[in-house]
Chains A and B, each alone.
Chain A
Amino acid sequence: MSQKHETPLLDELEKGAFPSFVKEIKRAAEHSEYAQDLLGQLELSYKEKVTHWKHGGIVGVRGYGAGVIGRYSDVPDKFPGVAHFHTVRVNQPAGFFYTTDALREICDIWDKYGSRLTNMHGSTGDIILLGTKTENLEPVFAELSSRGWDLGGSGSAVRTPSCCVGPARCEWSCYDTLELTYQITQRFQDELHRPMFPYKFKFKMAGCAVDCIASIARADMSIIGTWKGNIQIDQEEVRNYAKNGMDIQAEIVDMCPTGCMSWDGNELKINDEDCNRCMHCIAKMTKALRQGEEKGATILLGSKAPIVTGALMSWVIVPFIKLEPPYEELFDLVERIWEFWDEHGKNRERVGELIERMGFPVFLKETGLEPHPAMVKEPRRDPFFFWSEEDIEK
């Protein structure tokens, strides 16, 4: 298939050292009319400095209200190949692990029904299949589900839960992020496929405070692994790091956010009571330091990227919880939070924004959570405590 549209502006983006999305769309355009017209419409957008996409509307697969994002061209006469260019979100496996066969299977399905373009992975975590026509949605869904795949979340629904690689590949994971992600996905199938909330709700599971999945900044509920007890120190290995050139004072002790460490040139000391489990020292001295033995997670609530209003960070609501199957304590908490949000949330108001609007004490009262000094709003800020009128009188 020869190139249908001249693309002088897009061609500029192919120059330089880095891979270019234009190059990939051109490759797909050799076999796909969608990609041909996508190039044409993009070129027009670059020329006119305005988008030609419309999004939303009435599009989806029967029974589901999530998983398909409607997208239409506002210049369909010029670019009929992208008159409809819907996105299909496919629920990714926990930890993003695939066999090569699984990837081939997804690509074969998309070659058959879509534009041949994908995005691995979208910011929520799903496999994003970019661009298909309305009439292809039911067939693509049928074929995906017949092979064990399912659609992910979109709209005012639970978004596809995602996690770090967890214990599958990382010794720091304080709980099984993969198992919890799978169990949340199974438990909240209805909430994932049938939008029922004021706005989106994201779960992200990180095995430790290194937070490879960036849950603290972009998940409504961030579940971050942590531990109780003292950091385990192998002093011999600490001395080896020093011998091999590490400046322990500058790189470890002075970088500790709570200043709870000291180094006398021979022995590393940690005042564990002041440690906030940030993982910096453990991540730098992997052979010398290990987390405490009692492991679990901290649950935080309310972060989001700046879409309708500004960005928020997560707020600690459960300082420590043992996370083991069947996770009923966690699921019960999630349902209480959703009841609070459902009762008071305005349209397109994330749960973090609702808490900001109504106040943390109201949230705690209605969800039945006991106030605790460790309910820190943002990292490195002082914790605080609330008193009711009756408490003050006492």
Chain B
Amino acid sequence: MEKEELKKIIYELVEKSMGKKKLKQSDILKKVSKDHGVDKQEVKAALRELLDSGQLIFTYFGGSYVEIPPKE
């Protein structure tokens, strides 16, 4: 799968979970890898690009989660 497509899948997964369930990085890796038959390392690399570009961020609420940054 193309990295851009993978990034879109990850972003949509995080977006859909907002307000319902906070996702940890490992939740994302497991779910995307299982649902789309992609190696976890590939998912990790795509997620890393989303985090480095600021499209997704880490948050901390008793544990560390991946979320969409709040709109300014």
Contact = CB atoms under 8 A, between A and B. Distances in A.
Interface of A: 56-60, 62-66, 69-70, 154-157, 190, 194-199, 342, 347-348
Contacts of B57: 58, 60, 65
Contacts of B63: 155-156, 195, 198-199, 347-348
**Top-8 shortest CB links A-B:** A65-B58, A195-B64, A155-B64, A156-B64, A196-B25, A63-B52, A56-B60, A58-B59
Interface string B13-38: 00000000000111001000000000
Contacts of A194: 25, 48, 51, 58
27 contacts: A56-B60, A56-B61, A57-B60, A57-B61, A58-B59, A58-B67, A58-B70, A60-B58, A62-B54, A63-B48, A64-B58, A65-B25, A65-B64, A66-B58, A66-B64, A70-B60, A156-B64, A194-B25, A194-B51, A194-B58, A195-B24, A195-B64, A196-B24, A196-B29, A198-B24, A347-B24, A348-B62
Contacts of B67: 58
A156 B29 CA distance: 15
User: Main SS of chain A's interface residues?
Assistant: loop
A175 B27 CA distance: 37
B24 A156 contact: yes
B22 to A, nearest CB: 9
A190 B51 CA distance: 12
Nearest to B27: A347
Contacts of B69: 58
B23 to A, nearest CB: 11
A53 to B, nearest CB: 14
A198 B64 CA distance: 8
B64 A157 contact: yes
B59 A57 contact: yes
B5 to A, nearest CB: 22
A307 B57 CA distance: 26
Contact of B60 (A155, A196, A198, A342): A155
Contacts of A196: 24-26, 29
A197 B60 contact: no
Contacts of B51: 63, 65, 194
A156 to B, nearest CB: 4
Nearest to A64: B58
B66 to A, nearest CB: 8
Nearest to A60: B58
A348 B64 CA distance: 10
Contacts of B29: 196
Given A57-B61, A70-B60, 20 more contacts: A56-B59, A56-B61, A56-B62, A57-B60, A58-B57, A59-B60, A60-B57, A62-B52, A63-B48, A64-B58, A65-B57, A65-B58, A65-B60, A155-B60, A156-B64, A157-B64, A190-B48, A194-B51, A196-B25, A198-B24
Interface centre among B29, B48, B64 (most CB of A within 10 A): B64
A283 B25 CA distance: 45
Contacts of B60: 56-57, 59, 65, 69-70, 154-155
Contact of B26 (A69, A190, A197, A348): A197
Contacts of B61: 56-57
Nearest to B28: A196
B17 to A, nearest CB: 14
Contacts of B70: 58
A64 B69 CA distance: 14
A157 to B, nearest CB: 7
A57 B57 CA distance: 11
Nearest to B49: A63
Nearest to A341: B26
B12 to A, nearest CB: 20
B13 to A, nearest CB: 16
A69 B59 CA distance: 10
